[in-house]
Structure 1
Amino acid sequence: MAKDIADMLADGELTTFEAAGQLALAQSMQKRLKTQIDALKEFLTDRMDPKEHLTTDLGTVTAKRGSEPRWRVKDPVAFAQWLKEHGEEESVEQVPYPKEWAAKPDAIEHLVGQFGGEQPAGVELSRGSGDTVAVSRVKDWSAIFQDMQAQDQARRLLGIEGPEADGKDDESKDFWA
């Protein structure tokens, strides 16, 4: 079995440039697969009855009934204001709301410091986010498919054994079929 990419990275088997190439390849494959998945889902949704199951040797596909659109409140304060403006005051509770400047991160940080590190009620500290990379201008899947070196990289990325992995030079096998 091919070595997992995380293990290869941990073992220092890929350079930064090679890892960047693998990421671009995986991104291209993901884009191609999403297109295929979307088309297949649309095809099956149109042809399957709700709650129908189709079991294949690769997995089970189940049709799921959608739901009707329904209203939901995303900004309660704005909705309350709209209700008041339209004569629906009995549908509105009077609740104090912080002024815009008081809800800014720097103002909250100041308040936390001012009150000995106490976290104000109704306020949470977000997790933040880590550094990342973005992939753009990835090679089109059809171009990757025609590029033998890219095919070899894709096989390794997907953990597909090929003739180079087992030492045999069997070019009659089509690993992409």
Structure 2
Amino acid sequence: MIVAVGSCASAEDGGMNPTSTLSVNGHELAKDVPAGFDPCRDIPEQVLAEERLGHQEPDITEAPGGVVWKGCDWVYKGGGGYSTSVRVTNLTVEMVRDKNFQDAQEFTIGGRGAISTRQFDGPHVNEVCDINVAVRGGSVEVNVVNPPSRRDTGHLDSCQIARSLAEKIAPSIPESL
């Protein structure tokens, strides 16, 4: 059940400006993604080069119920490796945990709570992994798709790749977020 709720920002957030939120299964879902980190611009070029990621494409998705993701997709240069989406979402780590996805693992990245999940059903469940890293009002989501047929990365677990990438991206997320 989704219910629109009005709330006010705290004085620490710069004033008493009304913000719109949705309630999803008892959790408040912000109307939009948290501002302050843009994966399309704020991931250092050095990280993208180390990971051999190129061909950046914007990725903005809105799901029923008010869930929003904003970021970019990349593919492994040369076609022999994984593809990834790095997006900011209004889904919190707690909301992801409450979905009870298979193989959920909680840990810390850059001093922030994080969770890895396998949200893909089917015989190739290990090919896809999502990691959500907590930020105020949502999370930064790193999604990795890595079929075993990939020449350079197919032998690696998608969650290992996603966690390594999230650890490299985390220092770029502002502490205020």
Is TM (by shorter chain) over 0.5? Answer: no
User: Which structure features the higher share of helix residues?
Assistant: 1
Greater Rg over alpha carbons, structure: 1
TM-score normalised to the size of structure 1? 0.21
The structure where strand makes up a greater share of residues is 2
TM-score scaled by structure 2?
0.21
Query: Which is bigger in relative contact order (C-alpha 8 A, separation at least 6)?
Result: 1
